Structure 1
Amino acid sequence: MVSISGLPAFCAYAATALGLVALYLGVYLTATAHREIALIRENNLAAAIALGGSLVGYTIPLSVSIFNAQSILDCVIWGLVALVVQLSVYGLVRLVLPDLSRRIEAGEVAAATFLASASVAGGIVDAAAMTY
């Protein structure tokens, strides 16, 4: 027999996750010096790689926060922690590559790949640290 008794909780956590992803994208897109969406619309591969890596780097710990959450509020708090971690990763990469935005705007895939890799690595470490 199939039960859908968990459907309300699924819907609540999925909606929360979508809201947190939208918040993350809004904050991240505002924090970066380049305009990823416009660049992606212009077929800038570097912008797509950088933003895609950042999004994956955020959603990995977000999924762990959903898995471990005792409540929606718990999930939201840890989702916000993941947001701060990703913004910190971006800031650290900018310390290493001060001209990061210019390089992404110019379509330089090496800089974008480094940012994407750092974002995913930060997300994996963040997720592993969420062992509460």
Structure 2
Amino acid sequence: MPDILASPEIQAFASGFPVMIGHVLLTFALLALGATLYAWLTPWKEIALIREGNAAASVAFGGVLIGLAIPLAVSLSVSTSLRDIGVWGIATLVLQLFAFRVVDLILTGLPQRIQEGEISAAVLLVAAKLATALILAAALAG
């Protein structure tokens, strides 16, 4: 048994696992921060609408979460330290939140339609936000 614990694989796991946990926790914290900022910045209150059973708001906010997670995941994959993840993660959030806001402004009238529970409006909004997330993620990957 002592030979197994001294193996390079177990030693690599023992040293790398805590680092991975730190990277994942920071990325989840950035995701929570981004989702909170988005909810705060939007003209409509999706969380309240979701609590009221509005499926369109749920679809739209789900798209936001995925749209924030995609570039954060790429940031996590290309970064080598907590500082690196923090810097690129924050840059990603700022750019993504800005892009989301622009999409919201371009697709005028969608917030009202989402408030009214129109799923088609939510799906279009999600598609636009996911498209910006994929482009930003590709830019990060270089």
> What is the TM-score normalised by the length of structure 2?
0.85
Aligned counterpart, 1:75:
85
Aligned counterpart, 1:106:
116
Shift in Å, 1:94: 2.4
Give runs of ≥4 in structure 1 deviating > 4 Å.
none
Distance 1:127 1:70 in 2: 17
Shift in Å, 1:111: 1.7
Q: Are the counterparts in 2 of residues 82 and 123 from structure 1 also a CA contact under 8 Å?
A: no
Structure 2 residue 70 is matched with structure 1 residue 49: no
CA deviation vs aligned residue, 1:16-62 (integer Å, no higher than 9, x gap): 01210111111000011111111111111111111111111111111
Distance 1:131 1:89 in 2: 18
Distance 1:50 1:38 in 2: 13
Distance 2:134 2:59 in 1: 17
Distance 1:73 1:82 in 2: 14
Distance 1:23 1:95 in 2: 22
Distance 1:29 1:95 in 2: 15
Report the residue type matching 2:111 in the other structure. Answer: S
**Structure index of larger Rg:** 2
Shift in Å, 1:106: 0.7
Map 1:1-132 to 2 at 5 A.
3=10, 4-5=13-14, 6-131=16-141
Structure 1, gaps ≥5 residues long = none
Percent identity between the aligned chains?
A: 39
Greater relative contact order (Cα < 8 A, sep 6+): 1
Q: Secondary structure at the match of 1:22?
A: helix
Q: Are the counterparts in 2 of residues 50 and 115 from structure 1 also a CA contact under 8 Å?
A: yes
Shift in Å, 1:85: 2.6
Distance 1:127 1:85 in 2: 11
Shift in Å, 1:89: 2.6
Structure 2, gaps ≥5 residues long = none
RMSD value, Cα: 1.6
